[in-house]
Amino acid sequence: MIGLRGLTKRYGAKTAVDDLTLDILPGRVTGFLGPNGAGKSTTMRMILGLDRPTSGRALVNGRPYTTLRHPLREVGALLDAKAAHPRLTARTHLTAVARSNGIPVSRVDEVLETVGLAEVAHRRTGSFSLGMGQRLGIAGALLGDPAVLMFDEPVNGLDPDGVRWVRRLMRSLAAEGRTVFVSSHLMSEMQETADQLVVLGRGRLIADAPVEEVIAGSSGNAVRVRSPQASRLGGRLAAEGARVEQAADDELLVTGLTIEHIGALAHREQAVLHELSPRSVSLEEAYMELTASSVEYAAVAAERKERI
């Protein structure tokens, strides 16, 4: 388990992480989301003892990372896919890491096989593609067979098959009872992979909730109603307190009322229904709404006018 208690990091006048308190629990994949500059990488670095908090604590299984005797046996992490020395082979790199933490060298071949790099184990890592570097970094995280695993953008540079492989790996690790903490900007992948979401904005905690709860909380969720009497039905739904958007002549998007309430009202009004179905937003849409006021670097689209 990872526990953060009032975790704060300031760089001069800038607060990168602001009083962050939460628990990242075992047995599930926790997705770590937030706009650029939200404080995600800084948080992960503080958990691993690479940055010192201004105040508060980051604990792994109840202890600071820097006090762990054999840290790779307790925490495996991928923060930088190009961390290996480019002149070392994959096997040599992992062997050095294993020996530094008292991990049996036999474990090296096991993790190389797991990540699909066994056939290129004797190649220098400097010749690796970004995707191969990601796989090597994941192998390094798995080397000590730790109970806690942290990954920063683990699918960056991977092809679709590799992305699916990472997804299955994360879920299998969580199913074994491990703590899996994954930072990513790929909302579609997080929707497929994560059980729980932690969302930061400008260093502050915006959400710590199951994926389904984050999506359900979006104002974009609605009930689609198609009826020849859409206009009349829309007026009655609005009178009941619903927010009604006329999507087409025969189509309404309704929020604020349950699908059962809408169906019962249509029945009372003797309105013919051609469709009555929930319209759920994606995680990406829910995330964009959730973090709209926390985006630090926002580009403004300029309208291009052409003279005729």
Tens digits of residue pLDDT in 25-53: 999 999 999 999 999 999 999 999 999 99
Residues 178-186, mean pLDDT to the nearest whole number: 95
Pair (170, 263) in one structural domain? no
Q: Residue 219 corresponds to which amino acid?
A: S
Q: What is the pLDDT of residue 81?
A: 79
**1, 22 contact by CB (below 8 A):** no
Q: What is the pLDDT of residue 297?
A: 58
Report the C-alpha gap between 31 and 211 in whole angstroms: 9
CATH number for position 107: 3.40.50.300
Report the C-alpha gap between 207 and 21 in whole angstroms: 11
Query: Side by side, which strands form the sheet with 2-11?
Result: 14-24, 2-11, 55-60
Helix (H) or strand (E) holding 45: helix 40-47
Pair (73, 6) in one structural domain? yes
Pair (208, 240) in one structural domain? no
Report the C-alpha gap between 213 and 46 in whole angstroms: 28
Tens digits of residue pLDDT in 279-294: 889 999 999 999 988 7
CATH number for position 272: 3.30.70
Pair (135, 175) in one structural domain? yes
Three-state SS letters, 45-108: HHHCCCCCCCEEEEEECCECHHHCCCHHHHEEEECCCCCCCCCCEHHHHHHHHHHHCCCCCHHH
Question: What residue numbers bound the domain in which 131 lies?
Answer: 2-216
Give the chain's domain count: 2
Residue 305 pLDDT > 50, yes or no? no
Tens digits of residue pLDDT in 229-279: 999 999 999 999 999 999 999 999 999 899 999 999 999 999 999 999 998
